[in-house]
Amino acid sequence: MTERSKFESIAAAVVMYSLLALTVVLPLSGIAVSVGEGYGLSLFGFELVNSGREIHMLKELGEGIHEFSGEALLPFLLVLHLGASFMHHFIKQDGTLLRMLGKA
């Protein structure tokens, strides 16, 4: 394991947990949009939310979260993550990227 500054450790944790959070936030906000538009929600054949009435506020909230998360936050975090991996490989040359790929 390589030595990291406190800033690098905090930044790595923030990016990692943010990416993990998006794996929950994006599907939930998509579900909110669907339910807000009046579509039902079923899981494995079980109807969890009946289709029917539109809920404008839920649809708008879900769209806002989904759009920001998917079109702004996710690409930003992915570029940051890729940049950090390239920094480790090309600048620090510490073998981190090779270990992540299982080649070290």
* Contact assessment for residue 77 and residue 25, using Cβ atoms and an 8 Å cutoff: no
What is the average per-residue pLDDT within 44-57?
92
Instruction: Tell me the average pLDDT across 34-59.
Output: 93
Tokens describing residue 30? 């998509």
Q: Considering the entire predicted model, what is its pTM?
A: 0.82
* The pLDDT of residue 4: 82
Q: Would the pLDDT of 71 be above 90?
A: yes
Q: Which long-range contacts (CB under 8 A, 24 or more apart) does 94-102 make?
A: 94/2, 95/2, 96/2
